[in-house]
Amino acid sequence: MQSTATVLVYSDDANTREQVRLATGRRPAADVPQVEFIECATPAAVLKELDRGGIDVCVFDGEAVPMGGMGMCRQIKDEVFQSPPVLLLMGRPQDAWLATWSRAEAAVTLPVEPVEFAAALAALLRTRLAIEA
Residues 71-105: tens digit of each pLDDT: 999 999 999 999 999 999 999 989 889 999 999 99
pTM, to two decimals: 0.96
Q: What is the pLDDT of residue 33?
A: 96
Q: What is the pLDDT of residue 114?
A: 97
pLDDT of 2 > 80? The answer is: no
Torsion, Cα of 4, 9, 15, 20 (10° steps)? -50
pLDDT of 49 > 70? The answer is: yes
The candidate with the shortest Cα–Cα distance to 99, out of 91, 88, 109, 110, is 88
